Amino acid sequence: MKRRNFIGTTAAASVGLLTAKTGNANAVMASENLPLELKNNINHSACFWCYSPMPLDEFLGNLNKLGIKAIDLVGPEDWPLLKKHDIHASMCWGAGLGIEKGWNDPKLHEELIADYKRVIPLVAEAGYTNLICFSGNRNGMDDERGLKNCVEGLKQVMPLAEKNGVVLQMELLNSKVDHKDYMCDRSQWGVELCKQLGSENFKLLYDIYHMQIMEGDVIRNIRDYHQYFGHYHTGGNPGRHEIDETQELYYPAIMKAILETGYEGHVAQEFIPSWSDKISALKQGVTICDV
């Protein structure tokens, strides 16, 4: 399932299993062996959309059993349930028009500004900090013009974000495989946007899976641009499945590089489990990243 579909409709969809390795045969630990013994150097989170059609209430219960205290990509309608389970919303959504229609299109600015001005105070009132946003697709627009448009639009909501202590985070996504034509698809473009906005309340959500596809050199970019990265997502490449030896990234080294920058925010697992026991897959991912 594409995340754009989940964010756009919040509809449940099944995820196909890998043909080579499936189910508990792959699991290095079973979900019965809960909870995790975490080192508490990395603040772990998980993206809910990857676990549909599991109900949110059930997923939050599993997070509690694992000892994971945060969740990504849930909106205001679900925050009361998070409070019930004492789970933090480490990356909120609920404002905007989706991934493809974003701040690079001035025709959308009026609607986007109104929506973000509505949601930013809700995020702050709920005790959360991070709110996701997107550049939108190019649709024939050059990157320089898109950058200027994003600056012009976002500047109109940044004072409210600063007043409420909310950080808007634009996600870096690949335009090669998953999100064709998406504009904010390279670290340097996103960093330039941060520089032109000049606010500590605007950061980049650095998605390791997506940026491995677009530019690689993950650890160097984390070291060079970490001051502009406000949040991290994981995912195995190729395939966006487990982050173990089945893929090309070595996450323990990446996590150590993140820690070396002094980062104190959350790292959210955003791989799509291919195992039949999805919670065991999540447990493995968190264990790999718990350096």
Per-residue pLDDT 10s for the chain (291 aa) are 455 555 544 433 333 333 334 444 454 444 455 789 999 999 999 999 999 899 999 999 999 999 999 999 999 999 999 999 999 999 999 999 999 999 999 999 999 999 999 999 999 999 999 999 999 999 999 999 999 999 999 999 999 999 999 999 999 999 999 999 999 999 999 999 999 999 999 999 999 999 999 999 999 999 999 999 999 999 999 999 999 999 999 999 999 999 999 999 999 999 999 999 999 999 999 999 999
| 31 within some domain | no
Give residue 287's pLDDT: 98
| 78 within some domain | yes
Q: How many domains does the chain have?
A: 1
Report which residue type is found at 134: F
| 265 within some domain | yes
| 76 within some domain | yes
| 107 within some domain | yes
Report which residue type is found at 158: M
Is the Cβ–Cβ distance between 144 and 181 less than 8 Å?
A: no
Task: Specify the pTM.
Answer: 0.91
Give 168's strand partners.
131, 202
Rg, C-alpha atoms of the chain: 18
Give residue 5's pLDDT: 55
* 3-class SS letters over the chain: CCHHHHHHHCCCCCCCCCCCCCHHHHCCCCCCCCCCCCCCCCEEEEEHHHHCCCCHHHHHHHHHHHCCCEEEEECHHHHHHHHHHCCEEEEECCCCCCCCCCCCCHHHHHHHHHHHHHHHHHHHHCCCCEEEECCCECCCCCHHHHHHHHHHHHCCCHHHHHHHCCEEEEECCCCCCCCCCECCCCHHHHHHHHHHHCCCCEEEEEEHHHHHHHCCCHHHHHHHHHHHEEEEECCCCCCCCCCCCCCCCCHHHHHHHHHHCCCCCEEEECCCCCCCCHHHHHHHHHHHHCC
| 248 within some domain | yes
Give residue 128's domain range. 42-289
What CATH number corresponds to the domain at position 53? 3.20.20.150
| 266 within some domain | yes
Give residue 126's pLDDT: 98
| 5 within some domain | no
